[in-house]
Amino acid sequence: MVLSFSAAAKEEVCRSFPHHHCCALAQCFGILLFCNSFSADGVRIITESREFACILPKLFKKAFDVSFDTFPSMESPGKLVFQIVDEDKIYDIMESFGFSPEDTLSLHINLPVVEEECCRAAFLRGAFLAGGSVTDPVKGYHLELTTTHQSVARETFALMDEVLSFAPKLTDRSGNAVLYLKQSEKISDFLTFLGGSVAAMAIMETRLE
């Protein structure tokens, strides 16, 4: 099956697996804050990316030493669903980021988790893998990150502005906060920062053509 441009970009980004525990923690933080559900009731991550699905259990093992309670077969067609519902696991994950399971109504980016530059890249990598997409440059220039947490979107806006020297646009879509880029150079720079240099090069080549 031919991968979409977005799927191929995610596959490439997945190859930048974190070597250090702090980066694994930061990448999981990005995944959790931009995934389908992260609350005291549990974690629910839905993806169509097989490469992301393959590294997800390894990331959670490295960051928290926990395993998913339910996970799909890699042979399953369509969307793949990962879940954690065990209360002790949820508590350990929340505690890793300075949260309490009893108070998760307003999740935010805990700055010490993204203090180092390598951890900032890992965080944004996780955000893109869990809640991001990028349009095939032949059809147009558009990259976005979607989260259900408004405060997380504002803080990610500031983080991107700090580490990349440019900020995305921010909008609301059906109650979700969406950060997006529409300039080819910025999309290319962002993907390069995540480890997606081949996808970034494809965007610039399309622009030149």
Evaluate if residue 1 carries a pLDDT over 70: no
> In whole angstroms, what is the distance from residue 127 CA to residue 153 CA?
10
Task: List, for residues 71-93, the tens digit of each pLDDT value.
Answer: 888 877 789 999 999 999 999 99
Q: Tell me the percentage of the chain whose pLDDT exceeds 90.
A: 85
The token pair that represents 168 in the structure block: 């995305």
106, 117 Cβ separation under 8 angstroms? no
What average pLDDT is seen over the chain? Answer: 93
Percent of the chain past pLDDT 70, that is, above it, reads 97
